[in-house]
């Protein structure tokens, strides 16, 4: 324990279990009992059903009776709420007034029902007709330089919509296609691409039934991908050892009661998930992983000297990797003291973890935002790969690296062309298919889009879902800069803060959710998504639409495109909208390797696998080999330690999906009724001269002359390593400087933000 046994906010129960069912009924009450909702939940994540809009965890072919979790149910119920955010609501409230509402209260108004236009005279949204909205937006876009516009995507839109949106951007004339992935697993896309030649995970579901050990870094399964706990529970039963590195003792990784298992529910018995749990300091994983590698290398030295079987996979290292010698030198030249000081774990703890690794034949490495959202996030991932490469754990059954993705289709959107990097998109094929010359210059990612908006370079923003203004760093400066834009258009299901910070001309366009029936001229439509394990699934919504005025995302994107770009007989926006199978044909023609027979395979149980070269040990890297990383620094944090400086971790609660706040209970961490908390180790509280329950402020300690402060936070004792503090995203995003991001991918570093405490 990092807290010397002092009293901290905590929860004694396991993840899952009755608490998860109560968590649902507390928020939704009777809403969850409506027959149409029960029917929708019963179809969730099953072949031929609809694919959950919550996390990206895979949808297995041999599904459970109910293949959804507490948070998946919350996401569906939130979408299917009977509440409506109507023109009457907007007539009653000015935008300025709504800006003072909380994230929860805004979305809690329910589903948007009508296309709305900002009326600057009254400062209110007023209803408009779809055709007028498209025509007005198209006229504005045509008057602008395409390169002065940004098209953002949040990770929910389907493959079909994402493909059309990217095509629209390129026909119009830019590659400015940032998406939420730029704030999330972009570190993965860049690091894995550079180091093993494939920018996504190498593991498939079957690997979990063959592995011997799993190493978890900074991924909160119980809350952010709860269905994965079933897989982990089965692994543990098989004797697989799970070792976790996380500054916080997250419940799901400690113990789990399967809500689908009546015996476990009745007896309250739970499965112990992690056999070792290491509370690494935020930003300390490079050091921790290097320490483990150091032990593995030392064990190999001994084995070699004694003529026993080598610990390293020497043959693999020799034939399949580059850079091992340099890394080995770095390991030997790094003292245990340095390693212990940075990661906050002892040599014996790291050796215990490394022994599990060395003793296991097949190992899977799992990670999430705890590795990606750091200034040296690239090196975090590089070091985890190093550990795996040392024993040939990439490209082998039962082994591999598995980043756990966030939004349900965030990975897929990148697969079908949402990318600011032209080299990742088959532009020649697109040129040939549609008969236009796509722009070849690099577009902007999320941070670059923010920089451009601040500098006044961008005049228009179209958001395909999401809550950009709330999710990005540097809130105050960004909101001010935002209003200087000429045009902002938001395509959304529910009202959020990004709809209240507007350009001169603004539209709010309401769309269908994925659980709803999508009726087009060609009949009811299916869409598709790609999950975290690279499997593609069809999804059919059957629930009646929240309003007769809604359009599908695909129809809205096509409507905008048609009103903006010059007619071209090969751009059949209406025909594509009428029948999404035709969009899938285009995806197949653009990406024949991954999507051959796309329409025929759409409803393959368990999805169809798009393939991964690294899994086949084909290394599409510069050296033609898998590459070891030699880190230049042991800390993943961008600045050094200093007296009074803390490492702030921004967290998600159990009642939240990103900026969507369902409620104010973080059940599994024992924090109830508020999100305005400053979680601190009791020793740190004492040293800082603070008291439990005291209200304090955080100020950013970025030494760039900008004053960033968040006040009104209640000091709450919590089991965290000393020097690390935590609070909730998005409330604390104002403390994150725009320039504080991963060095390679520009992913904002939300997991070790340098801050000071002001009582």
Count other C-beta atoms under 10 Å from residue 38's C-beta: 10
Return the closest-CA partner of residue 283 out of 239, 255, 247.
Answer: 247
**Length of the chain in residues, anyone?**
759
Q: Radius of gyration over alpha carbons of the chain, in Å?
A: 25
**What is the torsional sign of CA 401, 404, 408, 412?**
negative
Binding partner selected for residue 496 from ligand MGD, Mo ion, none, CB under the kind-specific 5 to 8 Å limit? ligand MGD
Stretch that binds ligand MGD, among 367-375, 391-399, 528-536, 711-719 (CB under 6 A): 367-375
Per-residue binding letters, 262-281, with ligand MGD (x by CB under 6 A): ------------------x-
Three-state DSSP state, 533: coil
Interhelix angle 580-590/427-434, rounded to 10 degrees, is: 130
Four-residue CA torsion sign, 123, 128, 132, 135: positive
Decide which of Mo ion, ligand MGD, none touches 736; Cβ closer than 5 to 8 Å per partner kind. Answer: ligand MGD
State yes or no: residue 86 binds ligand MGD (CB under 6 A): no
Site string for ligand MGD, 698-737 (x = CB under 6 A): -------------------------------x---x--x-
In DSSP terms, 537 is beta-bridged to 529
**Shortest reach from residue 558's CB to ligand MGD, in Å:** 14
Nearer to ligand MGD, 219 or 274 (CB): 219
Scanning 320-328, 392-400, 431-439, 656-664 for contacts with ligand MGD by CB under 6 A, the matching segment is 656-664
CA dist., res. 708 & res. 601, Å (int): 51
Strands 213-217 and 241-245: parallel
602 binds, among Mo ion, ligand MGD, none (CB under 5 to 8 A by kind): none
Beta partners for residue 474, in sequence order: none
Task: Please say which residue, 13 or 426, places its beta carbon nearer to ligand MGD.
Answer: 13
Please identify, among the stretches 36-44, 197-205, 244-252, 354-362, the one whose residues bind ligand MGD according to the rule CB under 6 A.
244-252
**In the complex with ligand MGD, which residue's Cβ is closer, 317 or 511?**
511
Size of the site for ligand MGD (CB under 6 A): 64
Q: How far is the CB of 180 from Mo ion (least distance, A)?
A: 6
- Taking CB under 6 A as the criterion, the residue among 43, 124, 414, 751 binding ligand MGD is 751
Q: 55 contacts which partner out of Mo ion, ligand MGD, none, CB within 5 to 8 A by kind?
A: ligand MGD
Query: How far is it, in rounded angstroms, from Cα 78 to Cα 349?
Result: 43
Q: How far is CA 161 from CA 89, 417, 487, 491, in A?
A: 29, 11, 22, 12
Tell me the residue nearest to ligand MGD as measured from the CB.
368
Site membership for ligand MGD, residue 247 (CB under 6 A): yes
Among 44-52, 297-305, 466-474, 683-691, which window interacts with ligand MGD (CB under 6 A)? Answer: 466-474
In the list Mo ion, ligand MGD, none, the entry touching 465 (Cβ below 5 to 8 angstroms by class) is ligand MGD
CA–CA gap between residue 265 and residue 286 (Å, rounded): 39
Q: Does 285 bind ligand MGD (CB under 6 A)?
A: yes
Dihedral of CA atoms 404, 406, 410, 414 in degrees, nearest 10, equals: -50
CA-CA distance, 539 to 607, in Å (whole number)?
Answer: 11
Helix intervals (H) in 548-597: 553-564, 573-578, 580-590, 592-595
Stretch that binds ligand MGD, among 127-135, 203-211, 327-335, 646-654 (CB under 6 A): 646-654
Per the listing, tokens 């894995």 go with: 192
User: Token digits for 514?
Assistant: 């994925």
The upper half-sphere exposure of residue 452, i.e. CA atoms within 13 Å in the direction of its Cβ, equals 18
User: Under a CB-based contact definition with an 8 Å cutoff, are residues 70 and 20 in contact?
Assistant: yes
Q: Is the sign of the CA dihedral 462, 466, 471, 475 positive or negative?
A: positive
Contact region for ligand MGD (CB under 6 A) — 138-146, 153-161, 344-352, 685-693? 153-161
Contact between 356 and ligand MGD (CB under 6 A)?
A: no
- 758 burial class (0-12, 13-18, 19+ CB within 10 angstroms)? exposed
Q: Does 365 engage in binding with ligand MGD (CB under 6 A)? A: no
Q: Which residues of the shown chain bind Mo ion in the complex (CB under 5 A)?
A: 184, 406
With contact defined as beta carbons under 8 Å apart, do 723 and 679 qualify? Answer: no
Member of 511, 540, 594, 668 binding ligand MGD (CB under 6 A): 511
- In sign, the C-alpha dihedral spanning 9, 13, 16, 21 is negative
Least spacing, CB of residue 410 vs Mo ion, in Å: 6
Beta bridge partners of 300: none
Residue 649 near ligand MGD by CB under 6 A: yes
Residue 224 binds: one of Mo ion, ligand MGD, none (C-beta under 5 to 8 A by kind)? ligand MGD
Comparison of 223 and 321: residue with beta carbon closer to Mo ion: 223
Q: Are 282 and 647 in contact (CB under 8 A)?
A: yes
Show contacts with ligand MGD in window 208-237 (CB under 6 A). Answer: 217-220, 223-225
Q: Mask 40-79, x = binds ligand MGD (CB under 6 A)?
A: -------------xxx---------------x--------
Output 146 or 466, the one with its CB closest to ligand MGD: 466
- List residues near ligand MGD by CB under 6 A: 53-55, 71, 107, 154-156, 180, 183-184, 217-220, 223-225, 245-248, 250, 280, 282-283, 285, 368-370, 373, 404, 406-407, 464-468, 471, 491-494, 496, 511, 513-514, 553, 649-652, 656-660, 729, 733, 736, 750-752
């Amino acid at each position: 324990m990092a807290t010397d046994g002092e009293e901290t906010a905590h929860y004694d129960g396991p993840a899952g279990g009755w608490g998860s069912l109560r968590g649902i009924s507390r928020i939704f009450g009777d809403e969850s009992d409506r027959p149409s909702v029960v029917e929708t939940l019963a179809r969730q994540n099953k072949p031929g059903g609809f694919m959950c809009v919550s996390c990206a965890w895979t949808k297995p072919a041999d599904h459970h009776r109910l293949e959804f979790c507490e948070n998946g149910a919350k996401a569906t119920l939130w979408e299917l709420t009977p509440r409506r955010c109507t023109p009457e609501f907007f007539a009653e409230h000015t935008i300025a007034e709504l800006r003072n509402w909380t994230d929860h209260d805004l979305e809690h108004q329910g589903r948007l029902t009508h296309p709305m236009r900002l009326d600057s005279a009254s400062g209110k949204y007023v209803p408009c007709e779809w055709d007028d909205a498209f025509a007005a937006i198209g006229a504005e876009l045509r008057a602008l330089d395409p390169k002065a516009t940004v098209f953002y995507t949040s990770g929910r839109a389907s493959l079909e919509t994402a493909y059309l949106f990217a095509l629209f951007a390129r026909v119009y004339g830019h590659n400015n296609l940032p998406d939420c992935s730029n704030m999330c697993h972009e570190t993965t896309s860049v690091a894995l691409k550079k180091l093993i030649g494939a920018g996504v995970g190498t593991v498939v579901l079957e690997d979990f039934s063959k592995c011997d050990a799993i190493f978890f870094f900074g991924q909160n399964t119980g809350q952010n991908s709860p269905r994965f706990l079933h897989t982990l529970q089965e692994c543990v039963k098989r004797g697989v050892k799970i070792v976790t590195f996380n500054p916080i003792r997250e419940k799901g990784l400690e113990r789990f009661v399967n809500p689908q298992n009546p015996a476990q529910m009745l007896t309250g018995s739970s499965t112990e998930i992690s056999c070792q749990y290491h509370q690494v300091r935020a930003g300390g994983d490079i050091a921790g992983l290097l320490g483990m590698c150091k032990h593995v290398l030392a064990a190999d030295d001994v084995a070699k000297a004694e003529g026993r079987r080598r610990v390293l996979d020497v043959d693999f290292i020799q034939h399949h990797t580059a850079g091992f010698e340099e890394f080995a030198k770095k390991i030997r030249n790094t003292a245990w003291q340095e390693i212990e000081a940075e990661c906050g774990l002892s040599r014996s703890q790291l050796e215990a973890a490394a022994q599990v690794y060395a003793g296991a034949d097949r190992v899977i490495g799992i990670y999430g935002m705890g590795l990606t959202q750091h200034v040296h996030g690239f090196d975090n991932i590089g070091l985890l790969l190093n550990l795996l490469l040392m024993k040939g754990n990439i490209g082998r059954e039962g082994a591999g690296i598995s980043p756990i993705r966030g939004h349900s289709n965030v990975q897929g959107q990148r697969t079908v062309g949402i990318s600011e990097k032209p080299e990742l998109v088959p532009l020649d094929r697109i040129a040939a298919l549609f008969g236009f010359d796509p722009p070849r210059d690099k577009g902007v990612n999320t941070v670059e889009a923010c920089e451009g908006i601040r500098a006044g370079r961008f005049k228009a923003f179209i958001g395909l879902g999401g809550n950009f203004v709330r999710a990005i760093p540097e809130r105050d400066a960004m909101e001010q800069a935002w209003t200087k834009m000429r045009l902002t258009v938001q395509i959304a299901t529910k009202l959020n803060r990004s709809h209240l910070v507007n350009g001169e001309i603004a539209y709010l366009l309401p769309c269908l959710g994925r659980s709803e029936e999508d009726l087009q001229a060609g009949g009811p439509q299916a869409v598709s998504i790609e999950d975290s394990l690279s499997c593609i699934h069809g999804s059919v919504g059957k629930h009646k639409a929240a309003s007769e005025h809604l359009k599908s995302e695909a129809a809205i994107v096509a409507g905008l495109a048609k009103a903006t770009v010059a007619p071209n007989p090969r751009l059949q926006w209406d025909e594509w909208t009428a029948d999404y199978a035709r969009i899938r044909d285009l995806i197949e023609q653009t990406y024949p390797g991954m999507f051959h027979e796309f329409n025929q395979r759409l409803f393959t149980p368990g999805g169809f696998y798009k393939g991964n070269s690294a899994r086949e040990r084909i290394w599409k890297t510069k050296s033609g080999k898998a590459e070891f990383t030699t880190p230049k620094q042991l800390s993943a944090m961008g600045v050094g330690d200093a007296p009074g400086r803390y490492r702030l971790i921004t967290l998600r609660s159990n009642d939240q999906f990103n900026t969507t706040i369902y409620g104010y209970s973080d059940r599994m961490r024992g924090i109830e009724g508020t999100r305005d908390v400053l979680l601190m180790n009791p020793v740190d509280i004492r040293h800082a001269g603070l008291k439990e329950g005291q209200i304090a402020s955080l100020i950013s300690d970025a030494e760039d002359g900008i004053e960033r402060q968040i006040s009104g936070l209640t000091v709450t004792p919590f089991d965290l390593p000393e020097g690390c503090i935590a609070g909730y995203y998005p409330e604390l995003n104002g403390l994150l400087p725009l320039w504080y991001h991963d060095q390679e991918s520009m992913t904002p570093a939300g997991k070790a933000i340098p801050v000071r405490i002001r009582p």
